[in-house]
Structure 1
Amino acid sequence: MKNSKKMFILAEALLAFMVIAVAIIMVQEKNGKEQDRISVIIQGSEDNQWAAFQYGLKMAAQDLGIRMFVVSTGGALTVEEEKSLIEREIDNGAAAVIVQPVPGSEEMLRKMANRIPVLLTEHTGAEGGGGERLPVVGPNHYAMEAALAEELLKDYSGNLSGKTLGIFSGTGDSQASLERRRGFMETVGKTQAGISWSVSAPFSEEGKVLLKAQPAVDFVIALDDNSFTMAGEYAAANNLHGALVYGIGNSTEAVYYLDTGIAGCLVAPDEFNVGYQSLAEAAGSLTRFFHKMQDRTVSYTVLRRDTLFSKENQEIIFTMSQ
C-alpha cells in the first residue's frame, strides 16, 4: 500500500516536471525564432486622426523588436469586411491582431479570439453574451466628454440658459460614441442648455450636407476627430452661423481649428499611448507563455488656445504630426 502511494506521488511529480519542461522549451523556442507578425486593422487607416496611434505602434515595434503591419483600409468597414481582413491576416502569418471593432462585431471577434489573440482599440459594448470580454486599450470615453462639458460650463460660469447645442458624430452607433454622448449629456443635463439636434455621418460629404441642413445653434459638440475637423472646416467657411466648436480630436487639423479660434476647447486622447500599449500587450501574449492581455486606460489632455504651446502640449501635438 505504501509502495503504491509512493509510486503515485513519483508519477505525479514526473508529470509535473514534464509539463514544466515542455513550457520552458516552448518559451525558449518562441524567444529564439523571428517574432511573429502583429497586424493592426483600423478604419480609414490613412486618416490623419491615426497619426499619433501609428507613431506609438512604430515606436513600440522598434523598442520591443516586433514585426508590425497596419492593414490599408479606405473607410468604414462592415462586420463581414472586418472578419475577412482578420482571416486574410491570419493566412498571411499574423500571430495576433489589434482591431478597431465595428458596431455589431462582438460575436465575430470573440470567435476570432479562439484562433488568435485579439486586442481592441475600443469597447464593443458587449458584456457576457456567451464569451469572455476581449481586452481593450483606449481612453475613458465617458470621462473625456464629461471633461469637455465641464470646460464648456466653466466658460459660461455654469450657466447655459438660453444656449442651444448641436451634437455631431462620425460614428453615432459605436460604443465609444455612445459613451461620449452619455458623458456630455449627464454633465450638462441639469443646466438649461437646449439640445437642438444630434446627427452622425461617417463620410465627409454626407456630414457637410447634414450640417448644412441643421438649424443654427450656439455650439456644435463634436464627439470624434472626424466630426470635429468637419465642423471646424464648415465653421471656417462661415457655414455654421457663428457656432463655436467644442469636441474630441487628435489630429493637427483639430489643433489648427483650436489655434485659430474656431473651436473653444479640444480634448485630445493620448493616441500615441493607445498604439504603444496595444502593441506591447499583444506582443506580451506571444513572447510570454502565461501572459494574459489586460485592459489599459490611457490619459487625455484638455487643450485650450491660451495654453496650446506649453511644453506638455507641444509633446502631444508632436505625436499627431508624425
Structure 2
Amino acid sequence: MKRTKMTFLLSEICLFILLLLCMHLIFSGEKPQKRVAVIVEKSGDEKWDSFINGLKQAAGIRNIHLIICNTDEIEDAQEEKSLICEQLDNQVDAFIVQAAPGEDTGAMLREIRSQKPVLLVANGVPKEPENGKRTQHPELPAVMPDNYGMGYTLGEDLRSRENIQGKRIGIVGGLAETECSRERAKGVLDALSGTGCEIRFHIHTTYDMAITEKLRKEKAVDYLIVLETSALEQIAGMYAQENGNHPGIYGIGNSIKCVYYLDEAVVEGLVAADGYDMGYQSVLEISGALKNQLYIMKNRETAYRLLHKEDIFREEVQQFLHTYD
C-alpha cells in the first residue's frame, strides 16, 4: 500500500515538472511587447478610422502594444506636451504623434525625441532656416500624404471640369498654424494660377467657432474648396439640408461621411488620403527604431485618391473605401 502511494506521488511530481517544462517552452520564445502611444487630435472622429485600422493591423504583425490616447482638441504645443508626459509616466517606449498647431511645436517634439522615438503623422513640423524657406526637421520624420500634391490635385480637378475664368472661389482650410494647411492651400493656389478666377476669401477652421458660422459671414462664391475633413463634413451637411442652389464643392476628406456627400452630389470632387496606409507604414517605421537603436527613421509618403460620384462603386475604389469602415 505504501509503495502504491509512493508511486502515485512520484507520478504527480513528474507530471508537474513536465507541465512546467511545457509552459517554459511555450512562453520562452515570446518577447515583451513594446508600448507605443498614438496622439492625434479628436482621436474618436470618423476621419481616423482608416488610420487606426492600419495601425492595428501592423501592430499585430510587429508585436506592438498600441495606446491610442483619447483626445479632444489639441490647441497648442503645451497641451500636446501634457498628453505626451502622461504617457511617459506610463513608461511607453515610443510615440506616433500628429503635430499640434503652432511654431513652437517642433522644439517641444525635438525635446521629447531626445528621450523616446517620435514619428509624426498627417502633417510635418516646419522651421525657418537661414534662407527663409520652410523645411522638415530631419530628426522628426513623418509618415503622411503629399499635402501640397493633394491641394494641387484638387485645384487641377476644378479647373479641368469647369470653366472658372471670372468665377468667384472661396477656400476653407484647416487650422491655420499647421504645415498641412499651408501646403494644401499652396497646392490649390498654384493649380488655379492663371485661370482668371477670383479668390474671394481664404478662411480657416478654429476651435472657438463652427466653420459653417464663419462661412455664412463671407461673400457669396461660385465654388468652395474645402481642405479639411471635419470642415468638409460640416459644410456639405449644411448645404445638404438647404433647398436651392449652393456653390460647387471640391474638398479633401478622409471619412465615409465625405464619400456619402460625394455620392449625393453635394460634393463634386473629393481627394481622399489612404489613412490605412499611413497607419500601417507608421507602425512599421516606429518598430524599426524600437528593434534597433541605430535605425534611422525615414519620411514615408502615403497614397491618396481623386474620386468622383461615378467612381464610388468601382471595385478598386470599394476596396480602398473598405478600410474606412
**TM-score of the alignment, normalized to the shorter chain, above 0.5:** yes
Matches within 5 A, 1:94-105: 94-103=92-101, 104=103, 105=105
CA distance in 2, matches of 1:241, 1:133: 49
- The superposition leaves residues 68-117 of structure 1 with CA deviations (integer Å, 9 ceiling, x where unpaired) of 11100012332111101111111102100001001220000001100000
CA distance in 1, matches of 2:240, 2:261: 8
Instruction: Report the equivalent of 1:268.
Output: 272
1:144 to 144, 147, 150: 150
Instruction: Report the equivalent of 1:107.
Output: 107
Helix, strand or coil at the partner of 1:94:
coil
Helix, strand or coil at the partner of 1:68:
strand
Unaligned runs of 5+ in 1: 1-30
Helix, strand or coil at the partner of 1:320:
coil
1:64 to 48, 62, 65: 62
Structure 1 residue 48 and structure 2 residue 54: aligned? Answer: no
CA distance in 2, matches of 1:66, 1:133: 22
Normalising by structure 1, we get a TM-score of 0.85
Normalising by structure 2, we get a TM-score of 0.84
CA distance in 2, matches of 1:126, 1:33: 39
Instruction: Report the equivalent of 2:18.
Output: none
RMSD of aligned alpha carbons? 1.8
Matches within 5 A, 1:223-262: 223-238=227-242, 242-262=246-266
CA distance in 1, matches of 2:226, 2:171: 6
Instruction: Report the equivalent of 2:312.
Output: 308
- Report percent identity of matched pairs: 33
Instruction: Report the equivalent of 1:124.
Output: 125
- The superposition leaves residues 138-197 of structure 1 with CA deviations (integer Å, 9 ceiling, x where unpaired) of 0000011111111111112xx311211111123122100000000000110111111111
User: CA distance change for structure 1 residues 236 and 310 in 2, over 3 Å: closer, same or farther?
Assistant: same
- Report the alpha carbon displacement of residue 242 of structure 1 after superposing the two structures with TM: 1.2
Q: Is the 8 A contact 1:170 1:203 kept in 2?
A: no
- Report the alpha carbon displacement of residue 239 of structure 1 after superposing the two structures with TM: 7.9
Instruction: Report the equivalent of 1:88.
Output: 86
Letter in 1 for 2:49: A
- Report the alpha carbon displacement of residue 43 of structure 1 after superposing the two structures with TM: 0.3
Structure 1 residue 221 and structure 2 residue 225: aligned? Answer: yes
After superposing the two structures, state which structure 1 stretch, 119-128 or 34-43, moved more: 119-128
CA distance in 1, matches of 2:197, 2:298: 39
Letter in 1 for 2:154: L
Letter in 2 for 1:149: G
Letter in 2 for 1:219: Y
- Report the alpha carbon displacement of residue 273 of structure 1 after superposing the two structures with TM: 0.7
User: CA distance change for structure 1 residues 287 and 252 in 2, over 3 Å: closer, same or farther?
Assistant: same
